[in-house]
Chain A
Amino acid sequence: MNMTMQKCAPSGGPSRTPMTVAFLAALVVLLLPAPAAASQARDLERLRRADAAWSYLDSDFSAEYHIVQDVPGRGRSTTVAAVFRRDRQDIYTIVILEPEADRGQGYLKQGDTLWIYDPVGARFNVTSSRERFQNTNARNSDFTQSTLAEDYRIVGVTPTQLGRHAAYLYDLESDRDGVTFPIMRAWITDDGRILKTEDFSRSGQLMRTTAIPDYQQVAGRLIPQRIFIIDALEGAMIDGRFVNERTIITVTRPSFQPVPNSVFSKSFLERIRR
């Protein structure tokens, strides 16, 4: 290569063809990343759309969540919770309506702090967003806005088919502090609906699978209607076969109407008890 250059440079005549080839090759190399960059931008944009379907930054959000927890060998239990979110301020309030024994328990998230309120002792305790929600397979962090595009870097995107849906399989990784699952796979449709996710530990152990088969249209927005969560580690051996613990969340009565400021306060949870 160096020899060719030394030969070509002084004369210019006979070596014009190789120079042109080299120039064109360089041009191709320079232009090649453009489609790749465009593709990456589209992948990122799709991920942002997926976040937007789970985040309500321009209005408050409230809904009733019916959470059915199925523990193999121990049967099912149902929890009904009223969820109030104000994602633009990163706050939420959750009040447990059922079962009767837990009625009045509440959660109040204000930024990085999450309080859990116990009406029996009339006490607030700090808990973590990584903790299980009411001993189900949902985590407290599942009730807040989605920040996949912010938290994860895209390692790969593969067009795929999930059931009858055309989707893109995202391989995501994160080194960010506070991101519970450092490895994630997400099946996302082109319009930004997350159909399924698999959460992995840092060592690549599958921790849980989440499927969102149904979305509902509310005020022109798509919001999840049913969410299935399957815990990969928790479960029981039934007849010699491992049966996973699972949780089904059904979102009913969704609303984007403004929620009074007072709802996002400790006194609200205390008043609910009375």
Chain B
Amino acid sequence: MAALFQIAMRSLRRHLRRYLFVLVVLALGFAFISVMSALAAGMARSAENAALRHYAGHLFVIGRDKQAGSIMVVDHPRQVTDAIARSGLPVQRLLTRTHAFDRSSLFFHGASVRLKDLFGVDFADEAFLFSGFDYIEGGFDPGWDRETVVISEPVARRLRARVGDQIVLRVQTRGGQLDTRTLVVRAITADSSIFGFARAYMHRETLTNLMELAPAQWSVAGIFLPSVHDAPSWARRLEAELAGELPTAGPIETKDALTSAIRERWQGVRYFSVSLPVYVSEVTDLLAAMELASWLLLVMIMLVVLAATVVTYRVVLHDRAREIGTMLAVGFPRPWVVAALAAEAAILVGIAVTAGLLIAAGISQAASLLSFDWIPGFEIFLEEGRLRAWYRPATVLRNAAVVLGVVGTVLCVMVVSTVHRTIPALIKGETT
């Protein structure tokens, strides 16, 4: 085996000029495939992280009171947490938040911003999320007081507010009345994605009080699971568990189903069990479309690489026909010759894959130096305004296996086909 490898290496070195084109085509092709996969995975991870930070969980239980303008409120927090415990969910963390949704506005020196999301949070409980934010001004402090408000950069820009400014929050109570509170800007987050466009965080108890909810009530329970992929099936399980105790909206599998469920009329509070993929289905759909597009692109690149490799390798085999014929004529067994040539091809593809990976890493690094936050709506796929490639070992191995498998198989077939020609034909230089 070692002898075979040595002969293959020697032969490769001897015919390096002939193999150079195959090597370059394969390396560039694999680099392109790797970059595409890693960027797609990195964008998906950025979007998932942004969604996780925003919604704080993979799975949610939300209460909505239709009579109070569909305000989010969990009137029976104990029953909800009991149902979560009974459902057997692999809960990694459970966070509860008060959510004023779009029933709130911020005012500063006459400027105003109607918030899309105003979250009342326990900063100490959510330290792991808040320490992951990118802050333009100020920084995370788990001991932030009850007058704290953390606003996103677009909100700060529109209010022309900075850290330390006192701003007025106006909130609609559960009964539909207006209440106000002066808050102090403690930090400004850099998130200018669709999530952060009109978002603010404040102390949960302060918001709960402003919305005239009972101290024990909250709006949403966010559950962190080991993986987002299982969230939809766990949502069904939790929905079934909740339905035994409380009025629920039924299983919700899509964003459209959620929208129509919210539009229904009901009395009192109804409970919704929703998974993160449903909440961010637009992003999920976009990522699925991107993944499909990247797969199609990968197939096309693969075909191009394969065609270029086959044509070039055919020329290489043709050039080496006499050498192969001579080896057979002096007594080398055909299987041994096939094995020697196949080893050459395998080493060739292996070198190409390694080189391709190094090229891909260089391209990814270069891409991460460029800013893409000028593309509207693209921020959600960026980390700190930059594209971040994610080289998942499983994906790299899969891509390498595909290239090795497809190209290697085709080259081996060509080798076998050539070696099994007659010796006189090979010595005459006939390979086809």
Contacts and interface: CB of A to CB of B under 8 A. Distances in A.
Interface of A: 72, 128, 130, 174-182, 201-203, 205, 207, 233-237, 242-245
Contacts of B170: 201, 207, 233
Nearest to B107: A233
B109 A242 contact: yes
Contacts of A234: 107, 110, 112
A236 B176 contact: no
A236 B172 contact: no
Given A128-B69, A242-B109, A244-B110, A233 B168 contact: yes
Interface of B: 68-69, 107, 109-112, 168, 170, 172-173, 175-181
B180 A203 contact: yes
B168 A205 contact: yes
Nearest to B168: A233
Contact of B179 (A72, A202, A244): A202
A207 B112 CA distance: 13
Given A130-B178, A181-B177, 11 more contacts: A72-B110, A174-B177, A176-B175, A177-B175, A201-B179, A203-B180, A207-B170, A207-B178, A235-B110, A236-B111, A237-B109
B110 A201 contact: no
SS class of chain B's interface: helix, strand, loop or mixed? strand
Contacts of A130: 172, 176, 178
A233 B176 contact: no
Contacts of A177: 68, 175-177
A227 B111 CA distance: 24
B356 to A, nearest CB: 50
Contacts of B177: 174, 177, 179-182, 201-202
A236 B69 contact: no
Contact of B110 (A178, A202, A242): A242
Given A203-B181, A205-B168, A233-B170, A179 B109 contact: no
A128 B168 CA distance: 22
A244 B69 CA distance: 30
Contacts of B112: 233-234
A202 B178 contact: yes
Given A201-B170, A205-B180, A236 B109 contact: yes
Contacts of B180: 201-203, 205, 207
9 contacts: A130-B172, A178-B175, A181-B177, A202-B177, A207-B180, A233-B170, A236-B110, A242-B110, A244-B110
Nearest to B172: A130
Nearest to B212: A202
Contacts of A72: 110
A175 B109 CA distance: 30
B344 to A, nearest CB: 66
A245 B168 contact: no
A201 B69 CA distance: 19
B176 A179 contact: yes
Contacts of B172: 130
A181 B178 contact: yes
Interface centre among B111, B168, B180 (most CB of A within 10 A): B180
B110 A243 contact: yes
For the complex of A and B, list the 7 residue pairs with the smallest distance between their C-beta atoms, beginning with the closest. A235-B110, A177-B175, A202-B179, A205-B180, A201-B180, A233-B107, A236-B110
A245 B68 contact: no
Nearest to B105: A233
Given A178-B175, A182-B178, A203-B180, A233 B69 contact: no
Nearest to A175: B175
A235 B159 CA distance: 11
Contacts of A178: 175-176
Contact of A180 (B68, B168, B178, B181): B178
Contacts of A128: 69
B178 A201 contact: yes
B158 to A, nearest CB: 13
Nearest to A182: B177
A204 B245 CA distance: 40
A234 B108 CA distance: 8
Contacts of A175: 175
Contacts of B175: 175-179
Nearest to A72: B110
A152 B181 CA distance: 23
Contacts of A236: 109-111
A175 B176 CA distance: 10
B110 A245 contact: yes
Nearest to B181: A203
A261 to B, nearest CB: 26
Contacts of B173: 202
Contacts of A174: 177
A130 B176 CA distance: 9
Contacts of A243: 110
Contacts of A176: 175
A71 B107 CA distance: 15
A132 to B, nearest CB: 10
A184 to B, nearest CB: 11
A104 B23 CA distance: 68
